[in-house]
A and B are shown apart, each in its own frame.
Chain A
């Protein structure tokens, strides 16, 4: 039993709540019923770790088994860590006919072709997602199980979600993915967030969408009749209009919980009074970041309550429309460049 395994297990137990640990261990299925029942979950975590470690040694589990445990934990708790979305480009003809076993095999082979030491583990989740855990090593070192990369790929779609990937590993992963999925390109989708489900829903449009129309929906007309005849709204048309607009941009169902949106502006500084800045060759850069626990919901509320004056700027409405939360804006062209 090496140090990595110990630390991996230690870290995993520290991160997981006791209740969660129980079910995760159950799913893992490596402990016998008796062993599982003998574990005392009321004791402190360090003691629990000790107990599990002895069990590990007794059963002769390796780091791979513990990694499997970790993977189960991550699959059950996908909303930890920072997830980045990528998009596969230009599918080849047979891209849509890639199936699971084929993909798994190909991916493993392609990856181990480019990296000598790599440990790959795949698992298919209930929905069409394939979860891949990659522990990277290089020519001289063994795979580092303490800093694994998780990749979630939905079969037959061009979307890939990745967490904790370094820039060094990115080309390697991209090549392996392109080859195994029969696509030709791999690029950043400019969408990231802590909630995997949210960014997946946003990108794959799996949330209640609306189609923009010019007719007000019946919901807006209802509430006027409810109120007291003595109370009259002077600008009642405005409110309905605002609500409709907010609904048009963001829909009226539950929105994916996106935490942030970043706008990077690159422009020329224009101010006659400030010549030094105006005459500068280099572009003027600024970054605007919006954060919230539920950013899209906040935007919708802002628009509906009138805090944001109408019409809603395309910068906001293009978050759900384009499935992006990182925008680089260049001068004159308000649309996003990458």
Chain B
């Protein structure tokens, strides 16, 4: 049991470290491969089912620059597990080093309340909310590219930008229902 801290390690040169947390451990593997493939810098990917991460890896674990929570919207458990995991994250991470990635958002069978709940959670934590098409290779590559865009900023590879600045630009906001937009 250990609280993941954002500044407990020194950054390494030209290296970015990302932690993918997914309860189902389905999408994270392919996403990790795509991330390593698409990156032009050294990207270390850590995979976890849930937080906290075990203490035994404390030594070998580099400074994590970005924590990504992958939520499968078709599963309630996925969301609940994410909610529970968030507690084991140092508050420093919420300054732009956490993001949520949702899969299956276009599935007809998901209750709309769940998406709303995730949106609410993300906006409460001022985190960006990304959607991914995990079924297609193109979708996985695109998801990896978008994560890398955020990761580069979070790891300090982009001059004149900080993770906090980025998070202000991209954070999720809760919107009223636009199911029936009316302009009357």
Contact = CB atoms under 8 A, between A and B. Distances in A.
Partners in one complex: yes
Interface of A: 228, 230-235, 237-239, 305-307
Interface string B47-60: 11110011001001
B24 A306 contact: yes
Nearest to B26: A305
A230 B77 contact: no
Interface string B23-66: 11110010011001000001111111110011001001100000
B54 A235 contact: yes
Contacts of B25: 239, 305-306
Secondary structure at the B interface, as helix, strand, loop or mixed, is: mixed
B48 A228 contact: no
A234 B47 contact: yes
A231 B47 contact: yes
Interface string B148-160: 0000000000000
B57 to A, nearest CB: 6
B84 to A, nearest CB: 12
Contact of B45 (A231, A235, A307): A231
A239 B54 CA distance: 13
Given A239-B25, A305-B25, A306-B25, A231 B33 contact: yes
B42 A238 contact: no
B54 A230 contact: no
Nearest to B49: A235
A230 B19 CA distance: 12
Given A233-B47, A234-B46, A234-B57, 14 more contacts: A228-B32, A228-B36, A230-B42, A230-B43, A230-B45, A231-B47, A232-B46, A232-B47, A234-B54, A234-B61, A239-B49, A305-B26, A306-B24, A307-B24
Interface string B5-22: 000000000000001000
Contacts of B26: 305
Contact of A307 (B33, B61, B77): B77
24 contacts: A228-B33, A228-B36, A230-B43, A231-B29, A231-B32, A231-B33, A231-B36, A231-B44, A231-B46, A231-B47, A232-B45, A232-B46, A232-B57, A232-B60, A233-B46, A233-B47, A234-B54, A234-B61, A238-B49, A305-B24, A305-B26, A306-B24, A306-B25, A307-B75
Contacts of A306: 23-25, 49
**Closest 5 CB pairs between A and B?**
A234-B48, A234-B53, A231-B32, A231-B45, A233-B47
Interface residues of B, number: 25
Contact of A232 (B33, B44, B49, B77): B44
Interface of B: 19, 23-26, 29, 32-33, 36, 42-50, 53-54, 57, 60-61, 75, 77
B96 to A, nearest CB: 22
A182 to B, nearest CB: 53
B173 to A, nearest CB: 31
B16 to A, nearest CB: 11
Nearest to B60: A232
Contacts of A237: 54
A233 B49 CA distance: 9
A231 B25 CA distance: 13
Contact of B48 (A230, A235, A305, A307): A235
A44 B43 CA distance: 66
Nearest to B32: A231
Contacts of A233: 46-48
Contacts of B48: 233-235
A9 B57 CA distance: 71
A307 B75 CA distance: 10
Nearest to A228: B36
Contacts of A231: 29, 32-33, 36, 44-47
A238 B47 CA distance: 12
A80 B47 CA distance: 46
Contacts of A232: 44-47, 57, 60
A248 B29 CA distance: 25
Nearest to B75: A307
Nearest to B53: A234
A315 to B, nearest CB: 19
Contacts of A235: 48-50, 53-54
B50 to A, nearest CB: 8
A281 to B, nearest CB: 36
B14 to A, nearest CB: 13
Contacts of B43: 230
Nearest to B21: A234
A307 B61 CA distance: 27
Given A235-B53, A235-B54, A230 B24 contact: no
A228 B44 CA distance: 10
Task: Among A233, A234, A305, find the residue whose CB has the most chain B CB atoms closer than 10 A.
Answer: A234
